[in-house]
Amino acid sequence: MNYGLMELLPDWTDPGIGQYSTFGMWVNADAYNALPDDLREQFDQVTEELNTGEGIAAFNEVAAGQCQQMKDAPTVKSLTAWAEQDTQAWKDALGDSGQEMWIELATEQGLEDAEGVLEQYLAGLESYDDVAYDDATSACVASFGDR
């Protein structure tokens, strides 16, 4: 998805905290649990594909096109990345404050057990820690220097 940000932002920096996607898939737990077993199984298979091979491949394909658009855009001057030690220093300085703010905001907006929801979300992310993938953002940063 192209939000037209290349027209507005001349300098870009990747902070090195992972791939970024505007795509998300959520389903009400009661609705999911009410599905027949065969539909839940299909849903789970699609979720697995989205979070591993096929989803990553589709994301990277679109990201490669967006990278080329950035390289071709006369309005984009730079695309850089933080050094690993800078990313780690930022994570250390942030600590749990971002998660705490999310829990507070989600609770204020009516989410029951926001802390539990966040814990489940983070556990889901961790379950994919060992999935190998090419980081499209890093590849774009590397190719941008040859522009």
DSSP characters over the chain: ---SGGGT-SEEEE-SS----S------HHHHHHS-HHHHHHHHHHHHHHHSHHHHHHHHHHHHHHHHHHHH-TT--EEEE--HHHHHHHHHHHTTHHHHHHHHHHHHTT-TTHHHHHHHHHHHHHTTTT-----HHHHHHHHHTT-
86 domain-assigned? yes
| Confidence at residue 135, expressed as pLDDT on a 0 to 100 scale | 81
pLDDT digits (tens, 9 = 90+) for 93-143: 999 999 999 999 999 999 999 999 999 989 988 888 888 778 888 889 999
Range of the domain at 100: 6-144
- Determine what percent of the chain is predicted with pLDDT higher than 70: 95
| Confidence at residue 60, expressed as pLDDT on a 0 to 100 scale | 87
29 domain-assigned? yes
For 52-83, where are the alpha helices, taking DSSP H only?
A: 53-72
What's the mean per-residue pLDDT of the chain? 89
Which residues are 76's β-sheet partners?
none
The count of domains in the chain is: 1
- Across 114-140, b (16+ Cβ under 10 Å) vs e yields beebbeeeeeeeeeeeeeeeebbbeeb
| Confidence at residue 125, expressed as pLDDT on a 0 to 100 scale | 84
1 domain-assigned? no
